[in-house]
Amino acid sequence: MPDPESPPAADVARLAHDLRIACMRVSRRVRFESGGPLAPHQFSVLVRLLDGPSTLRDLAAFERVSPPSMSRTVNSLVEAGLVAKGDDPDDGRAVALTLTERGRELVATERAKRDAWMAARLEDLTDEEREVLTRATRILEEVLAQ
Protein backbone atom coordinates (compact mmCIF):
# COMPACT_ATOMS: atom_id res chain seq x y z
CA MET A 1 0.00 0.00 0.00
CA PRO A 2 1.47 3.39 -1.00
CA ASP A 3 2.39 5.87 1.68
CA PRO A 4 -0.28 8.64 1.59
CA GLU A 5 2.38 11.27 2.35
CA SER A 6 4.65 10.07 -0.44
CA PRO A 7 4.32 12.00 -3.72
CA PRO A 8 3.18 10.10 -6.81
CA ALA A 9 5.93 8.64 -9.00
CA ALA A 10 5.48 11.37 -11.63
CA ASP A 11 5.97 14.03 -8.95
CA VAL A 12 9.13 12.29 -7.72
CA ALA A 13 10.48 12.15 -11.27
CA ARG A 14 9.76 15.85 -11.78
CA LEU A 15 11.33 16.73 -8.43
CA ALA A 16 14.40 14.65 -9.31
CA HIS A 17 14.79 16.52 -12.58
CA ASP A 18 14.19 19.99 -11.14
CA LEU A 19 16.45 19.41 -8.15
CA ARG A 20 19.26 18.01 -10.29
CA ILE A 21 19.10 21.00 -12.63
CA ALA A 22 19.00 23.51 -9.75
CA CYS A 23 22.00 21.88 -8.04
CA MET A 24 23.97 21.91 -11.30
CA ARG A 25 23.17 25.58 -11.88
CA VAL A 26 24.17 26.58 -8.36
CA SER A 27 27.40 24.59 -8.60
CA ARG A 28 28.26 26.12 -11.97
CA ARG A 29 27.51 29.67 -10.81
CA VAL A 30 29.58 29.30 -7.64
CA ARG A 31 32.55 28.04 -9.68
CA PHE A 32 32.34 30.76 -12.30
CA GLU A 33 31.45 33.66 -10.01
CA SER A 34 34.54 33.04 -7.89
CA GLY A 35 36.68 33.53 -11.00
CA GLY A 36 39.31 31.15 -9.71
CA PRO A 37 42.45 30.28 -11.64
CA LEU A 38 41.77 26.54 -11.74
CA ALA A 39 39.49 24.30 -13.72
CA PRO A 40 36.89 22.46 -11.59
CA HIS A 41 38.69 19.12 -11.89
CA GLN A 42 41.95 20.68 -10.71
CA PHE A 43 40.29 22.33 -7.72
CA SER A 44 38.62 19.03 -6.83
CA VAL A 45 42.02 17.31 -6.66
CA LEU A 46 43.41 20.03 -4.39
CA VAL A 47 40.42 19.72 -2.06
CA ARG A 48 40.85 15.94 -1.96
CA LEU A 49 44.51 16.38 -0.98
CA LEU A 50 43.47 18.48 2.02
CA ASP A 51 42.62 15.14 3.65
CA GLY A 52 46.27 14.11 3.38
CA PRO A 53 48.68 12.53 0.92
CA SER A 54 47.25 10.39 -1.84
CA THR A 55 48.45 8.40 -4.81
CA LEU A 56 47.66 9.07 -8.42
CA ARG A 57 45.70 5.83 -8.59
CA ASP A 58 43.58 6.73 -5.55
CA LEU A 59 42.87 10.21 -6.90
CA ALA A 60 41.88 8.77 -10.30
CA ALA A 61 39.53 6.29 -8.64
CA PHE A 62 37.98 8.97 -6.44
CA GLU A 63 37.46 11.37 -9.36
CA ARG A 64 36.36 8.49 -11.63
CA VAL A 65 38.85 9.28 -14.36
CA SER A 66 41.60 7.25 -16.00
CA PRO A 67 45.08 7.26 -14.45
CA PRO A 68 46.56 8.95 -17.56
CA SER A 69 43.97 11.73 -17.28
CA MET A 70 44.72 12.18 -13.58
CA SER A 71 48.42 12.18 -14.35
CA ARG A 72 47.95 15.18 -16.67
CA THR A 73 45.92 16.98 -14.02
CA VAL A 74 48.45 16.29 -11.28
CA ASN A 75 51.39 17.27 -13.47
CA SER A 76 49.77 20.64 -14.20
CA LEU A 77 49.24 21.17 -10.47
CA VAL A 78 52.86 20.20 -9.72
CA GLU A 79 54.08 22.63 -12.41
CA ALA A 80 51.97 25.37 -10.83
CA GLY A 81 53.58 24.70 -7.45
CA LEU A 82 50.32 23.59 -5.84
CA VAL A 83 51.09 19.88 -5.40
CA ALA A 84 54.34 18.13 -4.49
CA LYS A 85 55.43 14.61 -5.35
CA GLY A 86 57.23 12.47 -2.80
CA ASP A 87 57.95 8.89 -1.87
CA ASP A 88 55.00 6.81 -0.70
CA PRO A 89 56.01 5.28 2.65
CA ASP A 90 53.65 2.32 2.10
CA ASP A 91 54.66 1.46 -1.47
CA GLY A 92 58.12 2.17 -2.83
CA ARG A 93 56.79 2.04 -6.40
CA ALA A 94 54.11 4.67 -5.83
CA VAL A 95 54.36 8.44 -5.53
CA ALA A 96 52.71 10.28 -2.65
CA LEU A 97 51.03 13.51 -3.68
CA THR A 98 50.62 16.32 -1.15
CA LEU A 99 49.46 19.90 -1.17
CA THR A 100 52.10 22.58 -0.98
CA GLU A 101 51.56 25.60 1.25
CA ARG A 102 50.65 27.55 -1.88
CA GLY A 103 48.08 24.87 -2.72
CA ARG A 104 46.54 25.10 0.75
CA GLU A 105 46.36 28.89 0.51
CA LEU A 106 44.66 28.68 -2.90
CA VAL A 107 42.03 26.24 -1.60
CA ALA A 108 41.34 28.48 1.40
CA THR A 109 41.05 31.58 -0.81
CA GLU A 110 38.77 29.86 -3.33
CA ARG A 111 36.53 28.44 -0.63
CA ALA A 112 36.23 31.85 1.01
CA LYS A 113 35.28 33.48 -2.31
CA ARG A 114 32.73 30.78 -3.09
CA ASP A 115 31.23 30.94 0.40
CA ALA A 116 31.05 34.76 0.21
CA TRP A 117 29.21 34.58 -3.12
CA MET A 118 26.66 32.16 -1.68
CA ALA A 119 26.31 34.06 1.61
CA ALA A 120 25.50 37.25 -0.29
CA ARG A 121 22.58 35.50 -1.95
CA LEU A 122 21.34 33.93 1.29
CA GLU A 123 21.34 37.28 3.13
CA ASP A 124 18.29 38.44 1.16
CA LEU A 125 16.24 35.42 2.18
CA THR A 126 13.87 35.33 5.13
CA ASP A 127 14.73 33.39 8.26
CA GLU A 128 12.10 30.83 7.24
CA GLU A 129 13.63 30.40 3.79
CA ARG A 130 17.08 29.93 5.29
CA GLU A 131 15.66 27.29 7.67
CA VAL A 132 14.16 25.44 4.70
CA LEU A 133 17.57 25.48 3.00
CA THR A 134 19.21 24.26 6.21
CA ARG A 135 16.85 21.27 6.28
CA ALA A 136 17.29 20.71 2.55
CA THR A 137 21.06 20.68 2.98
CA ARG A 138 20.80 17.93 5.60
CA ILE A 139 18.47 15.93 3.35
CA LEU A 140 20.79 16.30 0.36
CA GLU A 141 23.72 15.09 2.46
CA GLU A 142 21.67 12.02 3.38
CA VAL A 143 20.79 11.41 -0.28
CA LEU A 144 24.48 11.64 -1.23
CA ALA A 145 25.44 9.19 1.52
CA GLN A 146 23.21 6.46 0.06
64-84 residue pLDDT tens = 999 999 999 999 999 999 999
The pLDDT value recorded for residue 7 is 62
User: At the topology level of CATH, where does 9-145 sit?
Assistant: Arc Repressor Mutant, subunit A (1.10.10)
What dihedral do alpha carbons 60, 61, 67, 72 form, nearest 10°? Answer: -10
- pTM for the complete prediction? 0.77
Pairing assessment for the beta strands 95-99 and 83-87 based on DSSP bridges: antiparallel
Domain assignments of the chain as residue spans, ordered by start: 9-145
